Structure 1
Amino acid sequence: MTNLWRSTTVGSLKLSHRLAMAPMTRSRALPDGTPGNLSAEYYAQRASLGLLISEGTQPSDDGQGYLTTPGIYTNKHVEGWQKIADKVHAAGGYLFIQLMHAGRMSHPNNTPHHRQPVAPSAIAPGVQMFTANGKLDIPVPRELSRAEIKETVEDFRKAAAAAIKAGADGVEIHGANGYLIHQFFGENSNFRTDEYGGSIENRARFSIEVAKAVVKEIGADRTGFRISPGLPIGGIDEGRSGSDLYRYLIPKLADLNLAYIHVAHGGNDELLREIRSAWPNTLLVNRAGRPLEDIVVDIDAGLADIAPVGSWALANPDLVERLKLDAPLNEPDRATFYGGDSRGYTDYPTMDKQQKVKISHGK
């Protein structure tokens, strides 16, 4: 794993290694979307990972999809994220807040205004989601008007500004995993006949407008973008033109000189090689379900600069130290991934704490 410990950069940030914390929904915000009291401790515990990409954070009321996810569009939200940013920085890490508009991946029971979800087209994803009333079918969304699309771009811009005001080092635009931007990409989720639907150029238009607005507001070196080529999450089918859409999109984002692209890799290695070739800046690659011993494979192959880590980072606040020492890891407790209190959130032990417990028990 030698290459894992080489220094690198993201935008203007200097990182001492090639690991990062992947964005993970934890559903522990207050009802108004303000990050909960334990969130600052949770993120600061993991600061040794260097670059921390936050859980998906809605840029507006309409952007919320799941219960008790955080927002970044009110003064209270900014105050909550400021506490997190301050603690992360004090612990030596950097924080990028992921801006996630859920689009149709939502339910009226989960949002503050209880309105119908919005999307490029009035097409339900055909899946269920957890709500305050249990697991329910996601309803048919309302199609965004052209004016509302412009307003949503503005919501992303304002959220990016709020993130920087809160002390974050940057933002990651969530263009993946079945959420709003990805819904514009999908051939089966975008039936629009205006300039936001139909051709590859039109289906990519919204994502590029969001990226341009964010870059203009906070700077390219503070802006990342997440994609998930070929992943059928949230009922999305990119169709035969899916790979071609990314072949068009990546150079457009490269023209904006974004700090990084974050690929949730679905297994198309040929496309990943093309993205690597077309992308001049830092590339993050997260292969779902990869064994820990393969974490450096893409870096060794020159296909990635940074390897984001999800559940292993969740369960091991000192993951960097454990990997360097080849120490045993805590196992993630999936029952505590979403919602709840400190259990499965801030109570995973570090090696030091585990050693103290062994000593106190005479082991």
Structure 2
Amino acid sequence: MIFLLLGNLIMSSANTLFDPVRLGNLQLSNRIVMAPMTRARSSQPGDIPNAMMAEYYAQRASAGLIVSEATQISRQGQGYSFTPGIYDVAQVAGWRLVTDAVHAVGGKIFLQLWHVGRVSHGIFQDGGAPVAPSAIQPRGTQVWIVGDDGIGRMVDCPVPRALSVAEIQDVIADFRQGAANAVAAGFDGVEIHGGNGYLVDQFLRTVSNQRDDQYGGAIENRTRFLLELAAAVADEIGADRLGIRLAPYITFKDMADPEIVPAILHAAAGLDRLGIAYIHLSEADWDDAPTIPDQFRHDLSAVFSGSLIVAGRYDSDRAAQILEQGLADLVAFGRPFVANPDLPRRLAKKLPLAGHDGATLFGGERAGYTDYPPASA
């Protein structure tokens, strides 16, 4: 195999979407990742993963790697109805159904660990305020709550309260325990959700973090929470089983911050020293979304030597291009996996892609979840 030197990157002439790849301690059959997508199908009460979820993930296990839907590490970490947890024995047993089903058909799966921070509501906080780095309300931000009548509604996020230093250590301990629970449930590894306006992202950005202690102010302080919890999780399950999702150019949930890119690069250098398996870049996927500059991708590769996963508005041609340029190692697909459980086969054979029913994305039963068929031969 011929390798071409491109700046600080090494590019393989056969670095295609359907080639196998090493990711941490895993050998993956292809470079297609199923991106984490909230589907809100857990069993109630208790936010427990179930057999229907196991069927859903197993249907999509031809991806080189599945990253599960975001999963709260504690009751405090929840912000939406029916999202699954990983903090009690029933949830761990429910997730075991999922991992067993995925592994039975040869798939690999990571659990995405999640704490929403201020993007929550008192209904999930025993009537109290959500927690955050600072007591700053996210303007124009809502969460989905299903009422006693069974109807889901979008509700404004209230003003959060600032975490104490001792409480920050408690949250880090919850991430560590969540990772241990994930391994006990059979997951091949975990991904920390560090983007999209949730708690880790809130610590990284000056618009949501205005603390004056060791977790706020300078870049070294704003990245401290992420690096401490990553170190705790790596110590618990091994750095080669850990990935981090980051979203430097996504600004919804009132997160526009001119200082976020230097913070992300500083954090990436620290994550490289830990030796984690990958960074997963969440790119915006709407039509007029900002594009990640190639310069940022080069800057990131200069400070982080692990694998890079990219996600957002990729089709097979754009995915092949970014792999061939050496700007990513794997490409994640989200919405195309909803209605195309056999997406890798469809992409490989250039088969038409089915469209999904947007009305069935969140909550409900099998309709719009496990009833999408594979493509005919």
Quote the Cα distance in structure 2 between the aligned partners of 1:252 and 1:316: 37
* Identity among equivalent pairs (%): 44
Match of 1:361 in 2: none
The one of 24, 30, 45 aligned to 2:43: 30
The one of 119, 124, 129 aligned to 1:116: 129
Q: How many Å apart are 1:131 and its aligned residue?
A: 1.7
Residue 335 of structure 2 corresponds to residue 314 of structure 1: no
Quote the Cα distance in structure 2 between the aligned partners of 1:12 and 1:88: 18
Residue 98 of structure 2 corresponds to residue 84 of structure 1: yes
Q: How many Å apart are 1:123 and its aligned residue?
A: 0.6
Match of 1:300 in 2: 324
The aligned amino acid for 1:231 is I
The one of 33, 37, 50 aligned to 2:64: 50
Q: How many Å apart are 1:187 and its aligned residue?
A: 1.0
Q: How many Å apart are 1:201 and its aligned residue?
A: 0.6
Corresponding residue SS for 1:52: strand
5+ long unaligned stretches in structure 1: 356-363
The aligned amino acid for 2:354 is N
1:69-218 to 2 correspondences below 5 Å:
69-109=83-123, 111=124, 113-126=126-139, 127-133=141-147, 134-218=153-237
Q: How many Å apart are 1:313 and its aligned residue?
A: 1.1
Q: How many Å apart are 1:238 and its aligned residue?
A: 2.4
The range that moved more, 266-275 or 122-131, is 266-275
Corresponding residue SS for 1:5: coil
The range that moved more, 292-301 or 307-316, is 292-301
Residue 302 of structure 2 corresponds to residue 277 of structure 1: yes
Quote the Cα distance in structure 2 between the aligned partners of 1:10 and 1:289: 23
Q: CA RMSD in A?
A: 1.4
Quote the Cα distance in structure 1 between the aligned partners of 2:71 and 2:210: 27
Given that 1:25 and 1:338 are in contact with CA atoms closer than 8 Å, whether structure 2 keeps it comes out as yes
Quote the Cα distance in structure 2 between the aligned partners of 1:114 and 1:311: 34
Quote the Cα distance in structure 2 between the aligned partners of 1:49 and 1:20: 6
Q: How many Å apart are 1:295 and its aligned residue?
A: 2.3
Q: How many Å apart are 1:291 and its aligned residue?
A: 4.3
| Higher helix proportion | 1
Match of 2:359 in 1: 335
TM-score (norm 1): 0.93
Match of 2:253 in 1: 234
Deviation string for 1:25-54 (max 9, x for gaps)?
001112312113310000000000020000
TM-score (norm 2): 0.90
Match of 1:254 in 2: 272
1:56-67 to 2 correspondences below 5 Å:
56-67=70-81
Q: How many Å apart are 1:112 and its aligned residue?
A: 6.7
Match of 2:287 in 1: none
Corresponding residue SS for 1:296: helix
Q: How many residues align?
A: 350
Given that 1:65 and 1:106 are in contact with CA atoms closer than 8 Å, whether structure 2 keeps it comes out as yes
Q: How many Å apart are 1:115 and its aligned residue?
A: 3.0
C-alpha spacing 1:47/1:224, structure 2 compared with 1 (3 Å): same
Deviation string for 1:145-196 (max 9, x for gaps)?
1100000000000000000000000000010000000000111101100000
Deviation string for 1:90-119 (max 9, x for gaps)?
01111100001000111123x273432110
The aligned amino acid for 2:52 is L
